Amino acid sequence: MAGQTNDYGKRSHYQPERSLSNGGGKRRNPEDERESHAIGPEDTVYRYLCPLKKTGSIIGRGGEIIKQLRADTNAKIRINEAVHGCEERVVIIYSSSEETNSFEETGDLVSPAQDALFKVHDIVITEDTDYQLDEILTVRLLVSADQIGCVIGKGGQVVQNIRTETRAQIRILSSEQVPRCALSSDQVLQITGEATMVRQALFQVACRLHDNPSRSQHLLLSSSNTHKPSGSYMGAQVAQYGDWSGSTKEFSLRLVCPTENIGSVIGKSGVIIKQIRQESGAYIKVDSSATEGDDCLITVSAKEVFEEGSPTIDAAVRLQPRCSEKIEKESGDCVYTTRLLVPSSRVGCIIGKGGATVSEMRSLTRASIRVLKEEDLPKVASEDESMVQITGDINAVTGALVQVTTRLRANVFQVEGGVVTLPPTDGYGSYDDSQMAGNGYGAYGVSSGRLR
């Protein structure tokens, strides 16, 4: 399949890499360019794990191969940066879900992304000069936790059918086997067998993923350079190291919680808060003595090392849907408001110069993020505190909470002279209303488990 060209009609003139300096071309607005390359909620998206030594074969000299792949398929293809300690790089392939391309082997129409997936796959497996058709191959895809069920099926029936029909081995790897280039909510789907078997199984898996897009895929590009360290929280990574490395500091957060939500936070006989403490490793205190009017305080803290995961942020995200205000609109959609008290001396790291930082976080997460005026502070706030208020749907407020708290944490550790790469805005799973009802805390680096 590699090296051949399909007839895609009008799409053959697609030129994603056109130079702006050629002729009288109109210079593109950077915002329009960024929007045109965004992943939509209904798009088809694949994340193919490519061995480090083979990524050059996809890119080609001067990027000529990847440019040709984009032009031939009309799909967008992006190769993430290599992650230290990881032997693979993530190739993100995405496009509209519209089935416009003819799949060479069957003549069936497939999406541009699916067409590009197989072209990339062909390049990777034929890169070795001694490649044989009967050689045993292994292909690995990253799949979001909210999407993997469409491949497994009820009682494992779907994946078993694919195994039977293709004779390929298909496994969902354990969390210990997930590479560091994955997001914390990712699963690894591994296909092993002879080339023909793997290809047939990959086609069936790709069709399932095409029909069942992830609810959080629109945020993949904003998080694509963040890898998964040990532990459940995907902490900030620093490109240039300062003198913070290895030092331990206490990092704490103060969440404002409506008093009516306290039962949902604690649970019957304290079962919920005990489990969140155990799974996050953070100290959590519900301060009833600080209750003023309709609000009380929840303090979350832990002694942390910056380059490791943050138990504090992990616990805060688990608590968030329980301690946030929830309003259901007439449309049935729910709007959540999370309130966080922040020392006034640190609020500048959230706002940024001229409001640049908070604007960037709003754009990334699609949440409303505000630092309230002094007259709007709740009674439980101290004199030297400001309040950050985050509003939006559950995925937006979760992403924004991680963005805000990651910057606060970096400020506490006084990370200077280094570029902080923030964690994904929605790499922690997705919530639905059944989880909000009090029987589950959603997922923050967790793919299973409910509190009862």
Let me know if residue 432 belongs to a domain.
no
- 419 band by pLDDT with thresholds 50, 70 and 90: very low
What confidence score (pLDDT) does residue 13 get?
Answer: 31
Q: Is the pLDDT of residue 276 over 60?
A: yes
Q: 133 and 256 in one domain?
A: no
- Pick from 88-97, 126-135, 226-235 the range whose average pLDDT is largest: 88-97
pLDDT tier at 294 (50, 70, 90 boundaries)? confident
Q: Please report the pLDDT score of residue 120 as a whole number.
A: 96
Query: Which class for 121: exposed (0-12), middle (13-18), buried (19 or more C-beta within 10 A)?
Result: buried
Share of the chain above pLDDT 90, in %: 41
SS3 content of the chain, % helix, strand, coil (to 5): 40, 25, 40
CATH at residue 336: 3.30.310.210
Residue 440 counted as domain residue: no
- Mean pLDDT over 126-135 rounds to 64
Q: Minimum mean pLDDT among 117-121, 310-314, 330-334, 344-348: which range?
A: 330-334
Examine the domain organization and report whether 263 and 404 are in the same domain.
Answer: yes
Which residues 6+ apart lie within 8 Å of 106 measured at CB?
none
Same domain, 380 and 257: yes
Residue numbers of the domain that contains 244: 237-425
What is the predicted pLDDT for the residue at 103? 85
Per the model's pLDDT, the better-predicted residue between 242 and 298 turns out to be: 298
State the average pLDDT over residues 307-320. Answer: 87
Q: Which of 3-7, 219-223, 350-354, 444-448 has the lowest mean pLDDT?
A: 444-448
Is 383 inside any structural domain? yes
Nearest to 408 by CA among 375, 361, 367, 354: 361
State yes or no: pLDDT of 137 exceeds 60. Answer: yes
Which among 223, 251, 275 is the end of a domain?
Answer: 223
| In a domain? residue 437 | no
Residues 142 and 217 in one domain: yes
Confidence of residue 247 (pLDDT cuts 50, 70, 90): low
The separation between CA 98 and the C-alpha centre of its own chain, rounded to angstroms, equals 24
Residue with tokens 């034929």: 126
In a domain, 431, yes or no: no
User: Is pLDDT above 90 for 323?
Assistant: yes
Residue 235 has pLDDT above 60, yes or no: no
Q: Which residue type does 296 have?
A: C
The total number of structural domains in the chain stands at 2
pLDDT for the residue numbered 164: 95
Q: Lowest-pLDDT range, 273-287, 340-354, 438-452? A: 438-452
Clarify whether residues 191 and 327 are in a common domain. no
193 and 342 in a single domain? The answer is: no
pLDDT tens string 369-414: 999 887 788 888 888 889 999 999 998 999 999 999 999 998 888 7
Question: Would you place residue 131 in the very low, low, confident or very high pLDDT band (cuts 50, 70, 90)?
Answer: low
Number of Cβ atoms within 10 Å of the Cβ of 393 = 14
Q: Please answer whether residues 321 and 431 qualify as being in contact, where contact means their C-beta atoms are separated by less than 8 angstroms.
A: yes
Q: What are the backbone dihedrals phi and psi of residue 98, each rounded to the nearest 5 degrees, phi first?
A: -60, 130
Confidence band (pLDDT; 50, 70, 90) for 108? confident
- For residue 443, is it within any domain? no
Average pLDDT over residues 2-29: 35
What's the pLDDT score for residue 225? 39
| In a domain? residue 232 | no
Could you tell me the CA-to-CA distances from 195 to 6, 85, 122, 126, 301 in Å, in that order?
A: 22, 28, 10, 10, 51
Q: Are residues 251 and 303 in the same domain?
A: yes
CB atoms within 10 A of CB 432: 13
**CA 75 – CA 6 distance, rounded (Å):** 13
Domain endpoint, select from 164, 190, 223 = 223
d(CA 271, CA 320): 17
Query: Does a structural domain hold residue 246?
Result: yes
Q: What integer is the mean pLDDT of 61-69?
A: 90
